[in-house]
């Protein structure tokens, strides 16, 4: 039996496009579409697309 190789995880920050505040951490296996988050700093609603 062969072991399955896992993809290397790379964690990154998603930044607010308006005020450039760190919003959420994601890794390279994440997929998101239609996810809306309100920025804590500038109070604008942002759609996360990964």
4-35 residue pLDDT tens: 777 778 999 999 999 999 999 999 888 989 99
Is position 39 within any domain?
yes
pLDDT at 1: 65
The total domain count for the chain is 1
**Domain, as residue range, for 40:** 11-48
pTM flag (> 0.85): no
The per-residue pLDDT for 2 is 74
Q: Give the model's pLDDT for residue 22.
A: 96
Q: How far is residue 47's CA from residue 7's CA, in Å, rounded to a whole number?
A: 26
- Whether 2 is covered by a domain: the verdict is no
The tally of CA atoms less than 13 A away on the side-chain side of residue 37 is 18
With 0-12 / 13-18 / 19 or more C-beta atoms within 10 angstroms meaning exposed / middle / buried, residue 48 is middle
More confident residue, 50 or 43: 43
How much is the pLDDT for 50? 86
């Amino acid at each position: 039996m062969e072991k399955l190789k896992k993809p290397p995880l790379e964690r990154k920050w998603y930044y607010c496009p308006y005020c450039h505040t760190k919003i959420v951490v994601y890794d390279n296996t994440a997929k998101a579409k239609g996810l809306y988050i309100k920025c804590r700093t500038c109070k604008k609603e942002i759609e996360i697309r990964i």
